[in-house]
Structure 1
Amino acid sequence: HALGLAIPLVVSRSTTIGAQNGLLVRNRQAIEASQHVSHVLLDKTGTLTEGKFTVNALIPNDGIDETTLLSRLAALENNSTHPLAQAIITEAQAKDIEVVAAEKSQNIPGVGISGNVDGTDYTIVNGNYLTKQGIRFDEAAADKWAAKGNSVSFLLQGTQVQGMVAEGDTIKAGAKELISGLQRRGITPVMLTGDNPKAAEHVANLLGLTEFHAGLLPDDKQKIIADYQAKG
């Protein structure tokens, strides 16, 4: 009888401690199962990093200047709540650029956002999209900023790249301790991100992660989680 009473008390106490630390336990049996966990899969942005980006570089191509590039980026991102979009809006406001929302704005899952600015259609895309479409861009410059941990996006007009923006995030306080704590317990932390591989590798190195998956769409993340679960 004592053991029968002790187990629910331990589970109840664990649930309370979890709640105090921002962890909601929806299934108490999960606490008992947690002793058998071998891998923990974590999103990058907002979980391991702050999710508060800053614009670290604006690189326009020939024909436009930095202000024009930023203005068009901000117009496309004006109605978006994504952290990358907010950083662009903040940068435009800091430079006293009037931001007018693009017309016909539309999110493109896993790619970016499109819209019409002053009668011209533009799209903000990632490097993976450009590669798949066979569109040429300055890969050396993109890799340089990505290797420093930046998310790199491109402004596209038709099939012409107008320029790129590099945005950086910061590691969340306690993230490195979380990773090392899991590793000490024999649990392998795995980072999942839609960001580019070089930026993901930079964050992984800072945190001491040995496994990560980058360039993922939401469906890719679900599939990877299912794959890990299938392996037990």
Structure 2
Amino acid sequence: MRTLVTEVAVVLICLPVFVGYTAVLLRRSEQLRLTAQHMAEHDQLTGLLNRHGIALKTPALIKRARAEGRHMGVLVLDVDHFKNINDSYGHDAGDVVLASLGTGLVSWVNEGDLAVRLGGEEFAVIGLHDHPDSARLLAERLRSSASQLQVVAALRFTVSVGVASTVPAPLASDEPVSYRELTTARAAADAGVLSQLLSAADGALYRAKASGRNRVEITPEPGADAAPTLVSKG
């Protein structure tokens, strides 16, 4: 009997230690999960969202745009003559340019906008606007602000910007569908909206490059004739 009492006493003494240690392990595990999630969704050099990150974040913006009847705007920015920067100043300087632009975008964009590094020297800003011209005005502000950055000695750079915007069409169904089918349809529609806007903004970016760089171009109105222009980004 005395042995049993002793064992119970030992368990009661050790239990708080075990519970505390378990809590520490759970907190550590959650911290590691959040860190891994952040790394998966963000670009390591600039700290901005990456393509995976915007795929997760944009559905909420698209939902708001549909509900409020607002324009969803996508701006695609590309550093002009970036290869020349790397060749003349070195790749470390090129990284500083990209990191500085990333930091600048965070402070220049509107509250609630998503700043993204798409890859290489290409960035994007995604947000909601009350009027399609608001996206163009934001693009001009970003272009002007970038041209005033001085990152390495006398090194300055410019960006070209392509702009596209649309009011996402409401989701409609003539027949009752299950929640799973509705969720799948909404995800596909959202991915289509983002893909089309990125493609349209990228096309406008090519026109900005072809027109001399350090400028903003917007996507032509639907149905407008626009001869495709091929030009290397840079």
Structure 1 length-normalised TM: 0.26
More helix by share: 2
Larger Rg: 2
More strand by share: 1
